[in-house]
Amino acid sequence: MSEGSRASSLAFGQVVIGPPGSGKTTYCHAMREFLGRLGRRVAVVNLDPANEALPCPCALDIAELVTLPDVMGSLGLGPNGGLIYCMEYLEANTDWLQEKLEGLRGHYILFDCPGQVELYTHHEALKNVFAQLAKWNFRLAAVHLVDSHYCTDPGKFISVLCTSLSTMLHVELPHVNVLSKMDLIEQYGKLAFNLDYYTEVLDLSYLVDHLASDPFFRNFRRLNEKLVEVIEDYSLVSFVPLNVQDKQSMRQVMQAVDKANGYSFGDQEHRSLEALMSAAVGADFHFTSTLAVQEKYVQSQDKAVEEEVMDL
């Protein structure tokens, strides 16, 4: 195959992963609408055999191949075992997936994946499917969604950092970690630190000290220190804040993903040199996006304090 024909056959997309309830399906359909307004031809592919209540029709649904209820009923498996079986079945039938995806060439693909964490930290089936997609000239980035409410609990946030790091190392794709549902963060309680502390994953020793103030976690200080050391030694984990209702927030996530999977450097869209450099370098994008959310969060906290004072 010539270099020119090979380049023309490239397909770009995202594999959207994360724990249950993190907003993967909502993200996929919000991103499809957002990218569609920019002129991209976008298709959503549902790879979650447990996702029966899809908000919008998908271009391709794994239910055509296998469904979780059928597996659980015929094999007597629980939800977790059934999902693993479904992913192994998909891995064994990648020819079906390849045939279906051929009809979507020319589209930017959003793969809506299952919510079982073990599939991205331990199990090999989905990892092998992603590797097969790469062999078919798909240039993918993993978008790992994490619910922003974990920021309000230091212990859970350390767990999220460990899970994110493990996922990045196991999946072996360009990776963008996203704090989803940022529009709801003020409902979860007051943050111990500024929002940029969590998105940029700054000096985690402060988080360990904060945990030590809790009598329960005080007994596990040494363990938390070692976990934090592992996270900081790799220095890979950071987060992009996301509110799917906010166009600017969606744009910031899009730029991060375009840089990760190489779409920024292609000729799929006409873009100025300034726009290209903005997406490629992205020097200020974490700061501006985080600052906007931080200001809204602080204003919400100040308003709550004012209301409490008025009640007194």
DSSP letters along 64-118, please? GT--HHHHHHHH---HHHHHHHHHHHHHHTHHHHHHHHHTTTTSEEEEE----TH
Query: The tokens of 7 are what?
Result: 């380049």
Amino acid at 179: L
Please name the helix (run of DSSP H) or strand (run of DSSP E) that holds residue 140, with its range, or none: strand 138-147
Distance CA 109, CA 28 (A): 10
User: Over the stretch 221-278, which tens digit does the pLDDT of each residue have?
Assistant: 888 899 989 998 888 899 999 999 899 999 999 999 999 999 987 655 545 444 544 5
Neighbours of 177 (CB within 10 A): 24
Q: Which residues 6+ apart lie within 8 Å of 76 measured at CB? A: none
Distance CA 293, CA 191 (A): 13
Query: The tokens of 30 are what?
Result: 């919000």
Q: Give me the pLDDT at residue 298, please.
A: 54
Render each residue's pLDDT in the chain as its tens digit; 312 residues. Answer: 444 444 448 899 999 999 988 999 999 999 999 999 999 999 999 999 998 777 778 999 999 999 999 999 999 999 999 999 999 999 999 999 999 999 998 999 999 999 999 999 999 999 999 999 999 999 999 999 999 888 888 888 899 999 999 999 999 999 999 999 888 877 777 777 788 888 888 888 888 888 878 777 778 888 889 998 999 888 889 999 999 989 999 999 999 999 999 998 765 554 544 454 455 444 444 445 555 555 655 565 556 555 555 665
Q: Comparing C-alpha atoms, which of 141, 255, 256, 149 is closest to residue 198? A: 149
Q: Is-contact 59 107, C-beta < 8 A?
A: yes
Q: Which residues 6+ apart lie within 8 Å of 40 measured at CB? A: 108, 268, 269
Phi, psi of 229 (to 5 degrees): -60, -40
Q: Is-contact 128 91, C-beta < 8 A?
A: yes
Q: Give me the pLDDT at residue 43, please.
A: 96
Distance CA 254, CA 92 (A): 32
Annotation: CATH topology of 11-201+237-310:
Rossmann fold (3.40.50)
182 burial type by CB count under 10 A (0-12 exposed, 13-18 middle, 19+ buried): buried
Q: What residue has token string 């307004």? A: 37
Which DSSP symbol is given to 241? E
Segments in 187-284 forming alpha helices (H): 195-199, 205-212, 215-218, 221-234, 247-261, 273-281
CA 218, distance to chain mean position in Å, is: 31
Which DSSP symbol is given to 213? T
Q: Give me the pLDDT at residue 153, please.
A: 85
Distance CA 234, CA 165 (A): 8
Q: Give me the pLDDT at residue 2, please.
A: 41
Q: Give me the pLDDT at residue 1, please.
A: 42
Query: The tokens of 15 are what?
Result: 């594999």
Cα distances (Å, whole numbers) of residue 55 to 27, 66, 68, 127, 265: 11, 20, 18, 26, 32
